[in-house]
Amino acid sequence: MNLIKRLALTILAFVTIFGFSFSSFTHSAEASSRVSGKVVIAGSTALLPLTQQAAKEFRKTHPKVSVVVSGSSSIAGPQSVLNGAATIGACDWDATKPVEGFSAFKGLKAHKIAVIPFATIVNKSNPVKNLTTAQLQGIFSGKITNWKQVGGKNEKIVVVNRKFGSGTRVNYQMKALKNAKFMTKGENYKEVGKSGEMLAAVESNPNAIGYIDLAYVKGNVKAVSYNGVAATTENVIKGKYPVWGYGYLLTKGTPKGADAEFIKYIQSSKFQNGSLKKLKFIPIYKVK
C-alpha cells in the first residue's frame, strides 16, 4: 500500500512540474506571436554578424515581426534613428555620450549588447606575429614604412584604414594606438568604408595591414598579437588584451513593441551564451 501511495505522489509531482512548464512555454509562445511590427536596424558593420544572426533567430519566434538589418558605419546608426530611417541604430560606442571627434546624440537611449574584441590583421603570408603599441603607432602614422623595420620582409607596408565615422576606427585608435593620430594620405595608404571591405583589402594584399573585430578574422588573414598578447576572447575576459569595446543598440527614447522585444532577445542569456559567443563576441556580463 505504501508503494502505491509513493508511486501516486511521484506521478502527481511529475504532472505538476511538467504541466507548469508546458503552461509557461505556451504562455511565452503566445506572447511572442502577439508581437507585430517592423524592426529596422542600421549602423555598425562590426556588429552586423551579430544583428543579422539575432534577427534570424528572432523571426522564428516572432512570426508577425519584420526585421530588416543593414550595415554601413557606426555613425550611421544614431543618425538613421534620429532621421527616422531606422528604428534601432547599431554603434560601437555609446553615442549618447561624446567621444573624440563626435558629439553626443541627444534624445537617444543606449542599450549595451556585446563586448567586441578588435584585432590588428595582416595577410596570412606575412611572417610578423606580434606588434607593439609603438610599432603600430609608427605604422599607422606613416613613420614606419617597411615590414623589415618590424621583423618582416623587405616590402613596403600598405596601410588600410577605416573611414571617419567607423566605430571600429574609434575603438582601435583609442585602445591600440593610445589616441595617436592616423596618417591621412600616402602612396601606400587607403581607406575603406566597411568591415567586409577591410577584410577583402588585407586578404588580397600580402603587404597590407588593417584592423577588424574578431568576428571577421577568417580566410586569408590572421590576427597578430598586441604587445605579446594574442587577440582572443579569453584574453579580453582575463583583462590581458585591451583592444575591445562595447557594442550598443540605440533607440529614440525608451523602445516599445517589436523594438523592445528584439533588444530583450539579444540581451537574453540564451543569445548571449549561444550565438553571440560562437560569433567571437563576449557576453556583456563577462567584462567590466
What pLDDT shows up at residue 31? 55
Give tens-digit pLDDT for 193-227.
999 999 999 999 999 999 999 999 999 999 999 99
d(CA 254, CA 168): 26
Let me know: does 159 contact 188? Beta carbons within 8 Å: yes
d(CA 265, CA 112): 12
Cell numbers that stand for 102 in this block: 563626435
Extract the runs of DSSP E, i.e. beta strands, from 100-243.
Answer: 108-123, 130-131, 158-162, 189-192, 208-213, 221-226
Please give the domain boundaries of the chain with CATH numbers for all domains.
Answer: 37-115+245-278 (3.40.190.10), 117-237 (3.40.190.10)
What pLDDT shows up at residue 119? 98
Let me know: does 221 contact 205? Beta carbons within 8 Å: no
SS3 255: coil
Whole-prediction pTM value?
A: 0.87
Give tens-digit pLDDT for 241-261.
999 999 999 999 999 999 999
pLDDT classification of 81: cutoffs 50, 70, 90:
very high
Let me know: does 282 contact 237? Beta carbons within 8 Å: yes
Q: What percent of the chain has pLDDT over 90?
A: 87
CA dihedral 162, 100, 52, 223 (to 10 degrees): 50
Task: Give the number of other Cβ atoms within 10 Å of residue 208's Cβ.
Answer: 21
Q: What residues contact residue 91 under an 8 Å CB cut-off, 6+ apart? A: 43, 44, 47, 74, 75, 77, 78, 110, 167, 247, 248, 249, 250
Give tens-digit pLDDT for 119-158.
999 999 999 999 999 999 999 999 999 999 999 999 999 9
pLDDT classification of 24: cutoffs 50, 70, 90:
very low
Statement: residue 63 has pLDDT above 60: yes
d(CA 94, CA 69): 20
d(CA 42, CA 71): 6
